């Protein structure tokens, strides 16, 4: 019984150590990785700040983005960025300083710190679905870019990923492929896009308005390894993703509302047809 009791105690202690290890924060120098990423995401360079400095930055961010609960004046409604930092959907304004404590290396022992691996900006960005979606443009997005900012249209398009169909002359079947935009030809009418691994220029209207499949991404990855597309560095990738994100975020709500309206209209139409079926007279 004593042996069993000691064995159980050891198992509990090992589980506690494992749990503490799994809960360790990754640190990038003086601050945790989530804290540094939050500061970078709001345009603040990650020089070393004090806990009081970051508290002031967070509270200013909350005020600027109108994140205070209108019903409970001392409660902050965390947006996506703050939720990643605090791991909570709501926090009290007075608790911000306390919640930030864990994100400062000086408040930890060395055993509680995991040094995060920093990927050099000169390295090539990984080609996976999560990354490609950041710079992938569907037809509707491209039309929006052209309509809103025709002067910067080429700058926004070059380096992005688009999806076009290709007709097989033997089987007469269409298949979809991912391509990288390498340039834009301006003309009196609709601009043409120059694409990697494609000889002829492509009209905007030929782009797909749907997301790519895993098979298409895998084929794109193979072609990139074969140098048929330019592989972007982490720095180039981040720059392109950030410039496109500003436009996509700004227009996301309008697109979703229009999509919702179309789905409601379609549902109403189906309902009317079911309630009042049409009879054909012969």
Q: Do 31 and 54 have their domain in common? A: yes
Residue 275 forms part of a structural domain:
no
Q: Do 108 and 164 have their domain in common? A: no
Residue 262 forms part of a structural domain:
no
CB-CB neighbours of 234 under 10 Å: 16
Q: Taking the alpha carbons of 41, 42, 43, 45 in that order, is the dihedral positive or negative? A: negative
Distance CA 58, CA 254 (A): 28
Token readout for 181 is 């935009």
pLDDT-derived band at 271 (thresholds 50, 70, 90) equals: low
Q: Do 68 and 146 have their domain in common? A: no
Q: Using the predicted structure, report yes or no on whether residue 213 has a pLDDT greater than 90.
A: yes
Residue 124 forms part of a structural domain:
no
Residue 43 forms part of a structural domain:
yes
Q: Using the predicted structure, report yes or no on whether residue 267 has a pLDDT greater than 90.
A: no
Whether residue 184 contacts residue 191, with contact meaning beta carbons closer than 8 Å, is answered with yes
**Do the strands 192-195 and 174-185 form a parallel or antiparallel pair, or are they unpaired?**
antiparallel
Output 22 or 122, whichever has higher pLDDT.
122
Q: What is the CATH number of the domain that holds 80?
A: 1.10.245.10
- The pLDDT, as a whole number, for residue 22 is 45
Give the whole-number percent of the chain exceeding pLDDT 70: 80
Q: Do 167 and 105 have their domain in common? A: no
Whether residue 53 contacts residue 45, with contact meaning beta carbons closer than 8 Å, is answered with no
Q: Do 81 and 137 have their domain in common? A: no
Q: List phi, psi (to 5°) of 163.
A: -125, 125
Residue 243 forms part of a structural domain:
yes
Q: Do 134 and 244 have their domain in common? A: yes
- The pLDDT, as a whole number, for residue 5 is 44
Q: Do 247 and 133 have their domain in common? A: yes
Q: Do 19 and 60 have their domain in common? A: yes
pLDDT-derived band at 256 (thresholds 50, 70, 90) equals: low
pLDDT-derived band at 254 (thresholds 50, 70, 90) equals: low
Q: Which of 58, 81, 115 marks a domain boundary?
A: 115
Q: What is the CATH number of the domain that holds 144?
A: 3.90.70.200
Q: Which of 89, 115, 141 marks a domain boundary?
A: 115
pLDDT-derived band at 282 (thresholds 50, 70, 90) equals: very low
Output 46 or 65, whichever has higher pLDDT.
65
- Structure confidence by residue, pLDDT tens digits, 217-252: 999 999 988 889 998 888 888 888 888 877 766 665
- The pLDDT, as a whole number, for residue 3 is 38
Q: Do 91 and 168 have their domain in common? A: no
Distance CA 267, CA 261 (A): 10
210 burial via Cβ count (<10 Å: 0-12, 13-18, 19+): exposed
Distance CA 125, CA 122 (A): 9
- The pLDDT, as a whole number, for residue 94 is 94
Average pLDDT, the chain: 82
Give the whole-number percent of the chain exceeding pLDDT 90: 42
Element (H or E) spanning 194, and its range?
A: strand 192-195
- The pLDDT, as a whole number, for residue 270 is 64
Element (H or E) spanning 175, and its range?
A: strand 174-185
Q: Using the predicted structure, report yes or no on whether residue 92 has a pLDDT greater than 60.
A: yes
Q: Do 91 and 189 have their domain in common? A: no
- The pLDDT, as a whole number, for residue 108 is 87
Q: Which of 87, 115, 143 marks a domain boundary?
A: 115
Residue 99 forms part of a structural domain:
yes
- The pLDDT, as a whole number, for residue 251 is 61
Residue 208 forms part of a structural domain:
yes
- The pLDDT, as a whole number, for residue 2 is 37
Residue-by-residue DSSP string for 61-97: HHHHTT-B-SSSTTEEE--HHHHHHHS-SEEEGGGHH
pLDDT-derived band at 166 (thresholds 50, 70, 90) equals: confident
Q: What range does the domain containing 50 cover?
A: 2-115
Give the number of domains in the chain.
Answer: 2
From 86-100, 117-131, 159-173, the region with the lowest mean pLDDT: 117-131
Residue 212 forms part of a structural domain:
yes
Q: Using the predicted structure, report yes or no on whether residue 90 has a pLDDT greater than 80.
A: yes
Q: Do 133 and 110 have their domain in common? A: no
Across 170-192, b (16+ Cβ under 10 Å) vs e yields eeeeeeebbbbbbebeeeeeebb
Q: Do 135 and 235 have their domain in common? A: yes
> Strand order in 113-115's β-sheet?
31-32, 25-28, 113-115
């Amino acid at each position: 019984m004593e042996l069993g009791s000691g064995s159980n105690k050891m198992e509990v202690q090992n589980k506690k150590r494992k749990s503490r290890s799994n809960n360790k924060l990754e640190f990038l120098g003086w601050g945790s990785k989530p804290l540094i990423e939050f500061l970078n995401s709001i345009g603040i360079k990650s020089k070393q700040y004090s806990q009081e400095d970051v508290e002031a930055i967070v509270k200013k961010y909350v005020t600027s983005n109108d994140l205070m609960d209108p019903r409970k004046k001392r409660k902050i409604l965390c947006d996506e960025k703050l939720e990643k930092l605090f791991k909570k959907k709501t926090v009290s304004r007075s608790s911000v300083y306390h919640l930030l404590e864990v994100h400062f290396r000086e408040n930890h022992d060395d055993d509680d710190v995991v040094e995060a691996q920093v990927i050099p900006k000169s390295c090539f960005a990984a080609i996976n679905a999560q990354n490609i979606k950041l710079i992938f443009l569907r037809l509707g997005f491209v039309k929006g870019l052209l309509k809103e900012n025709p002067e910067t249209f080429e700058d926004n398009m070059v380096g992005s990923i688009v999806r076009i169909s290709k007709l097989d002359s033997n089987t007469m079947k269409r298949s979809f492929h991912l391509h990288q935009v390498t340039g834009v030809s301006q003309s009196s009418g609709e601009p043409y896009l120059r694409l990697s691994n494609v000889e002829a220029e492509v009209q905007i209207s030929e782009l797909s308005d749907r997301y790519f499949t895993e098979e298409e991404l895998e084929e794109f990855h193979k072609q990139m390894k074969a140098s048929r597309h330019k592989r972007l560095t982490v720095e180039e990738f981040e720059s392109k993703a950030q410039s496109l994100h500003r436009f996509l975020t700004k227009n996301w709500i309008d697109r979703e509302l229009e999509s919702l309206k179309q789905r409601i209209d379609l549902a109403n139409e189906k309902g009317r047809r079911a309630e009042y079926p049409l009879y054909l007279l012969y």
